[in-house]
Amino acid sequence: MADLLNGLLNDEVLKRLPGDVRVPGDRPDRSGILHIGAGAFHRAHQAVYTDDTDWGITVAAPSSRGVIDALAAQDGLYSVATLGAPGAATRDGVSMRVIGSIVGTLHIASERDRALDLVAAPSTHVVTLTVTEKAYRDPQGVPRLLADGLARRAARGGPPLTILCCDNLPDNGTTTRAAVEPLLDPATRAWADAHVTFPSSMVDRIVPASTKATYERALGELGVTDLAAVEAEPFTQWVIEDDFAGPRPDWNATFTTDVAGWERLKLRTLNGVHSTLAYLGALADIETISETLALPGAEDFARWLISEQIAPSLVPPDGQDTVAYGEAVLERFANPGIRHRCVQIAMDGSQKLPQRLFATMLDLAEAGIDLDLIALPLAAWTRFCAGKSDAGNDLPLDDPLKDVLRQSLAAAGPAPAARIDAILGIRQVVPEPLADNHQLRRAAAKWLRELDRHGVATTLEHL
């Protein structure tokens, strides 16, 4: 009904949008970038950086086609609402910008051949990826597509190509290369060694999944329907390893030779605390991160976790201080305009916690530092995996290792120590040295007993 009355966002209506909405200038007529993964994060991050250049993007969705169909119907246009900016230009702390960098769409599942052609096309210089952590472990999925596309490019003697991972993984360029390389035939492998690079990058912007409220806000601010609208926080950062095989857009990002330090700082501090709050909040039946942070004791706990466990586990990149970085992260988490749901961040814990939590624990254990505080998020995840909140409500366990997690916990029975040992024994998730770290096991079992008996709210309040 809304679209019948108001029409869709498209090139036609751009000049009639309210004056305080920022709109793209001349739109690029071709795409040098193929982006795989059409999620909200891409639309609020890389596509915005690209909108500030003269490059265009063809955005490819691996399976679900909702977003790309919406984009196709809107000439690739969509809006980003920036929420909670202190001095935001428009009403209610919202600033609206229409992004014009997406100039083509592609549905991989039904247009595989076109996808391979785009990987091979001489006009494609950069392939960027936001396909989530688990996609790199599925050789038949995105890695296979890239390998087959590279084979076609190599066979045609195509120009060099940069494959740029934008997922929250440590050494994400190396991880991507390691997923693709074993799938290459010898000739393609030899060609790729000389013509393809896999730089690492650290990406950062809090972008909750779009909801009905996102689309309603877009309609209210734009006066037309935008079925691909996203909303995001004001902060945005992109640190990219300067290792491009061919041309690249003039992104307003930080290009450096050392991304690893940035990745570690961000994954352990921002994402580690994010996951911690997500499991605590979900168990307490709290909907969002900002509301979880407001629980008595939660912010103090997050602060201790950062200063006493995360900071001693890492060497921050030049000029950074982990505690100060963490303070800024907590301020971002508290942004009341951002309704980032705990259960969204709680997804795929088995794929996220290795780099967000277990890597920190490993380094602390090696340095002989006590693991007491960081054992609490482990206990919270263990309790979350069983699927019931403190009040007995169902919690969704959306995780590729769901069956392994559930079966291990069921076999362990009710005792907290046995449940912690069951989780620590899952080798695909937990690095071996942690499985028999007595201090970690004891601390996590103690926290799990507290959570079982008193729930999250009381446990945090009495820390």
Closer Cβ to ligand CS2, 35 or 441, answer by number: 35
Pick the closest to residue 230 from 249, 251, 206 (CA basis). 206
Kindly give, in sequence order, each residue whose CB lies less than 8 Å from that of residue 397, ignoring residues fewer than 6 positions away: 384, 385, 387, 405, 406
129-158 burial by CB neighbour count: b if 16+ within 10 A, else e? bbbbbbbbeeeebbbebbbbbbbbbbeeeb
Q: Does residue 271 bind ligand CS2 (CB under 6 A)? A: yes
One character per residue 350-389, x = contact with ligand CS2 (rule: CB under 6 A): --x-------------------------------------
Kindly give, in sequence order, each residue whose CB lies less than 8 Å from that of residue 373, ignoring residues fewer than 6 positions away: 301, 304, 305, 308, 309
Kindly give, in sequence order, each residue whose CB lies less than 8 Å from that of residue 38, ignoring residues fewer than 6 positions away: 59, 60, 61, 67, 68, 71, 105
CB of 459 to ligand CS2, least distance (A): 22
Cα first-last separation, the chain: 52
CB of 258 to ligand CS2, least distance (A): 19
Closer Cβ to ligand CS2, 271 or 408, answer by number: 271
Find the binder of ligand CS2 among 125, 205, 217, 441 (CB under 6 A).
205
Q: Per the structure block, which two tokens stand in for 158? A: 């195509």
CB of 353 to ligand CS2, least distance (A): 10
Q: Does residue 168 bind ligand CS2 (CB under 6 A)? A: yes
> Which residues, numbered 22-61, are part of the site for ligand CS2 (CB under 6 A)?
none
Q: Does residue 274 bind ligand CS2 (CB under 6 A)? A: yes
Q: Does residue 341 bind ligand CS2 (CB under 6 A)? A: no
Helix (H) / strand (E) containing 105: strand 102-107
Maximum CA extent, the chain? 66
Pick the closest to residue 62 from 7, 132, 141, 126 (CA basis). 141
The span of 268-276, 302-310, 363-371, 436-444 binding ligand CS2 (CB under 6 A) equals 268-276
One character per residue 209-248, x = contact with ligand CS2 (rule: CB under 6 A): ----------------------------------------
Please state, in angstroms and rounded to a whole number, the distance separating the CA atoms of residues 329 and 319. 17
Closer Cβ to ligand CS2, 169 or 219, answer by number: 169
Number of residues that bind ligand CS2 (CB under 6 A): 10
Find the binder of ligand CS2 among 206, 365, 424, 444 (CB under 6 A).
206
Q: Per the structure block, which two tokens stand in for 137? A: 């472990």
Q: Does residue 339 bind ligand CS2 (CB under 6 A)? A: no
Q: Which residues bind ligand CS2 (CB under 6 A)?
A: 168, 204-206, 270-271, 274, 344-345, 352
